[in-house]
Amino acid sequence: MAGRKEVIAVARLKTTVLVCDDHAVFREGVKQVLSSQPDIDVVGEASNGLEAVQAARRLRPEVVLMDIAMPLLRGFDATRRIKKCCPETRVLIFSIYEECHGPACSNRRHRLYVLRSA
C-alpha cells in the first residue's frame, strides 16, 4: 500500500495543462515539448474556443494554454468562461500578435501573454 501512496504523491507534483489552438501541427508540437518535461502532464487539447471551455470544465487543469484567435469562440471569450467556471485555473494566452488587447489581458494576476515567436 505504501507504494501506491508514493505513486499518487509523485503524480500530484505534475502541473496539469490543457493545450488550446486551432492549428493541429502547432498543438501537437506544444504537446510534445510539454510532455517531455517530467513535471508537466498534458491532460487534454482543444481545437476551438467552445471545446476549450468544455475541456476545462471536465478536466480542471491547473494551466490552460490558449490561442487568442480561436474559431467558434475567440480565445478571450473562452478564457473569460474558463475563469468563471474554473477560477483556480491559470490561463496563458499566446498569439502571433505583438500586443494583447481585450478584457482577458486586463487582469495580469490570472493571465500571461506570450508571443508565439518568443
Output the domain CATH number for residue 43: 3.40.50.2300
| Rounded Cα–Cα distance for residues 57 and 29 (Å) | 24
pLDDT at position 81 is 95
For position 2, what pLDDT does the model report? 55
- Contact between 94 and 67 under an 8 Å Cβ cutoff? The reply is yes
With respect to residue 6, please indicate whether it lies within any of the assigned structural domains: no
Give this prediction's pTM: 0.75
Q: Is residue 28 part of a domain?
A: yes
Structurally, the chain folds into a number of domains equal to 1
Q: What is the pLDDT along the chain (118 residues), one digit of tens a residue?
A: 555 555 555 556 899 999 999 999 999 999 999 999 999 999 999 999 999 999 999 999 999 999 988 899 998 899 999 999 999 999 988 776 555 555 545 554 444 444 444 4
Domain with 98 in it: 15-115
Please tell me the total number of residues recorded for the chain in this structure: 118
> Rounded to the nearest 5°, which phi and psi values hold at 38?
-65, -20
Instruction: Please say whether the beta carbons of 63 and 16 come within 8 A.
Output: yes
Strands laid side by side in the 111-115 sheet? 40-46, 15-20, 63-67, 90-95, 111-115
**Domain assignment of residue 3, yes or no:** no
Q: Is residue 82 part of a domain?
A: yes
Cα-based torsion angle of the residue sequence 79, 84, 90, 94 in order, rounded to the nearest 10 degrees: 10
| Residue 9 falls inside a structural domain | no
Report if residue 60 sits inside a domain.
yes
